[in-house]
Amino acid sequence: MQAQYQDILALLNRQRNMIIIGHEDPDCDCLGSMLGLYLAFQGAEKNWVMLRHDDPPHNLRFLPHVEEMQHPQHINWDDYEAVLLVDCGEVSRTGPYLQAHLAGKQLYCIDHHISNAFSGQLAVVEPQAAAAGEIVAAICLAGEVPICDEVALCLYSAIAADTGCFRYLNTSQRALVIAAQLLPQVDLELVRIKLFEDRSMSNLRLVGVCMEHMTLECDGLLSYSWLDQPSIQRYHATVMDCHNIVNHTLLPSGVKIGIMFEEHEDCVKISFRSRRGYRVDELATSFGGGGHMQASGCKIPGRLEEVRPQVLAAARKLLTQKYE
């Protein structure tokens, strides 16, 4: 057994009455890691509960048992004595409910974000890991925890999603080795379709809006676009329909930093993407968010016309510093 996993394995094997919770707007790594943990360590038998602040995106409802995740308003918090954060390191990232119910509860964390600022009893934080799902799989393998087909599907999907199907720079040797061990138990066509091809018509319409609004600055190094409220409402889109549109901002040749602004009723959600050597997690952190070096995000109260100039000024400064 790898020494760094002894404590977390002991915890997962013995802990009862525990809440597993991930970040708001859950992606495949968040959901897959939570589900993988819950299933691999027999969470149902230990009175574990999986919470999600937001509904799972439509294309991720293929993940086994995702329908068993509950909303924080629907549980009796007094029934649980511990909380495990998955794919996030700060209570504030889970939504508005958790902070008020933490008193007297043990707090644990499994995460891979470089911006992790966890404060609690026990954490496994590996920024070099491609996905939280990779860490969960490594913990299972180190502890010789049986991995059934459902667990394999959840964890493989988590790793595939956060590596862009093993295309992104975070794809490591360990990620590939672990994925290869899970591969025989996974329906690859199902994963490919659900993660990379299954899109709502509202999402596809908003991709068109993204392309129409796309703007280049800084000699083509900075690309940004936006989805304003009229556009989102025109196509009857939900928050889930806006997922991953930011990736299109990196498509123009020569772009190093891509930014997508999503205007919602009470805030603007900003997603950042970048090429090697450009740490957009620093941008996100400066506005109260966080994430990975090349994929991060934040939310800023206000309207699009107020927020956009602030964020673009910070992005221009980052590019200037890089080229000084």
Specify the residue for token string 């439509």: 58
- pTM > 0.85: yes
In angstroms, the CA 225 to CA 238 distance is: 18
In angstroms, the CA 115 to CA 128 distance is: 12
Q: Is the pLDDT of residue 188 over 60?
A: yes
E strands along 38-190, which residues? Answer: 49-51, 82-86, 106-111, 122-125
pLDDT-based confidence at residue 1 (cuts at 50, 70, 90) = very low
> Nearest 5°: phi and psi at 47?
60, 45
pLDDT, the chain, mean = 94
In angstroms, the CA 34 to CA 49 distance is: 10
Q: Which pLDDT does position 53 carry in this prediction?
A: 85
Q: Is the pLDDT of residue 54 over 90?
A: no
- Show me where the domains of the chain are located: 3-197, 201-323
Q: Is the pLDDT of residue 112 over 80?
A: yes
Q: Is the pLDDT of residue 279 over 70?
A: yes
Pairing state of beta strands 295-301 and 257-263? unpaired
Q: Which pLDDT does position 320 carry in this prediction?
A: 82
Residue type, 9: L
pLDDT-based confidence at residue 115 (cuts at 50, 70, 90) = confident
Q: Which of 15-19, 89-93, 243-247 has the highest mean pLDDT?
A: 15-19
pLDDT-based confidence at residue 155 (cuts at 50, 70, 90) = very high
DSSP element (H, E) containing 315: helix 304-323
Q: Which pLDDT does position 83 carry in this prediction?
A: 97
Q: Which pLDDT does position 324 carry in this prediction?
A: 45
Note whether 3-197 and 201-323 share their fold: no
Report the b/e string of 133-148 with b at 16+ CB within 10 A: bbbbbbbbbbbebebe
Which structure tokens are listed for 40?
């691999």
Q: In what order do the strands lie in the sheet with 267-274?
A: 215-217, 222-227, 257-263, 267-274, 295-301, 290-291
Q: Provide DSSP, 198-239.
A: ---HHHHHHHHHHHHH-EEETTTTEEEEEE-HHHHHHTT--G
- Evaluate whether the domain defined by 3-197 bears CATH number 3.40.50.720: no
Q: Are 292 and 128 in contact (CB under 8 A)?
A: no
Fold observed for domain 201-323: Diaminopimelate Epimerase; Chain A, domain 1 (3.10.310)
Q: What is the pLDDT of residues 92-108, one digit of tens each?
A: 889 889 999 999 999 99
Q: Which pLDDT does position 2 carry in this prediction?
A: 61
**Sequence-ordered list of residues with C-beta below 8 angstroms from that of 140, at least 6 positions apart, any chain:** 36, 40, 147, 151, 155
